[in-house]
Amino acid sequence: MTHPAKTPAAAGGHPATTQRRFALRGALGAALGLAVALGASAPGAAAQEVELKLGHVGEPGSLFQMSADEFARRANAKLAGKAKIVVFGSSQLGGDKEMLQKLKLGRR
């Protein structure tokens, strides 16, 4: 006897939407992990707040924007001044491809 997978897509959600949601959660989790790592390992981190940019391609009012803003709010509360997440929407930092390239190269 086989059981259907218990995923949000199997529960009635659209597979593409569910996939994007998981990808966004993964990216936001990675950004928080990076913020914590930078705050813990950066020389002089106690004297200077680290600012991390979180870019996305969503328009104002989109799920991307709402998710990014909520993540930044929660992360900034947990980081308590060690680092600050700043959200840039509407492709202000570039499209998906450009942001990934900048991330790989370590550019702002």
Reported as a single tens digit per residue, the pLDDT across 19-51 is 666 666 666 666 655 555 555 555 554 557 899
Distance CA 18, CA 8 (A): 7
Identity of the residue numbered 99: M
Integer-rounded Cα radius of gyration of the chain: 16
pLDDT at 61 (0 to 100): 96
pLDDT at 10 (0 to 100): 46
Helices (H), 52-95: 63-79
Task: Tell whether the model's pLDDT for residue 69 goes beyond 80.
Answer: yes
Task: Tell whether the model's pLDDT for residue 103 goes beyond 70.
Answer: yes
Identity of the residue numbered 83: A
**Of 56-60, 84-88, 103-107, the least confident:** 103-107
